[in-house]
Amino acid sequence: MTDNFIQLGKSGVLRFNIRTDEGVDTGEYLEFDMEDIELPLIYQEIGERLKKNQDKLKNQLLIINKRQDVKGKKLLSKNQEDEIRAVRDFVNEQVNIYNMFLGKNGVQKLLNGRKPTYEMFEYIDEIIEKQIMPHLNFNIETIKDKIKNKYKKDNEEEIEVLE
């Protein structure tokens, strides 16, 4: 019996190799399918979800700080324990939101094995804005032109798409 297989091409995929501060290649990378029509929508959605998650953390911390503090079970007070849990949950949700855009384990790849912290998200935002976004051209016009050309019939006018 012979093995049958399909070789998949990677046209239209933008790949970013990840290096350490010293310039050593980590072997990890991020990939973005430039023909994915949903990519701009995902990017827009993560912005909204990040804002909601920040608002949720602010509200939780406000509630915790307004209530009377009591002794905790161990070293920390009850309010300190709750603040740490709130920040931990916030960080975990931020990682999930960023990974919607960066891909599976994208945040972990960018942090090169370090645990995410509250301050790490400024670093990730900077990477996205300065190093990734200039290469991601969310040009809807290009996509519309491709659709028009693909489905245009001979000797007929181009169809109106997404207007």
| Rounded mean pLDDT for each run of 10 residues along the chain, 163 residues in total | 63 85 90 83 93 97 93 88 95 96 93 86 91 76 74 60 52
> The pTM is what?
0.78
User: How distant, in Å, are the alpha carbons of 17, 27, 114 from that of 20?
Assistant: 10, 10, 12
DSSP letter assigned to residue 26: E
Evaluate whether 43 touches 101 at the Cβ level (below 8 Å): yes
Q: Residue 121: which residues within 8 A CB-CB, separation 6 or more?
A: 94, 98
Phi, psi of 121 (to 5 degrees): -70, -30
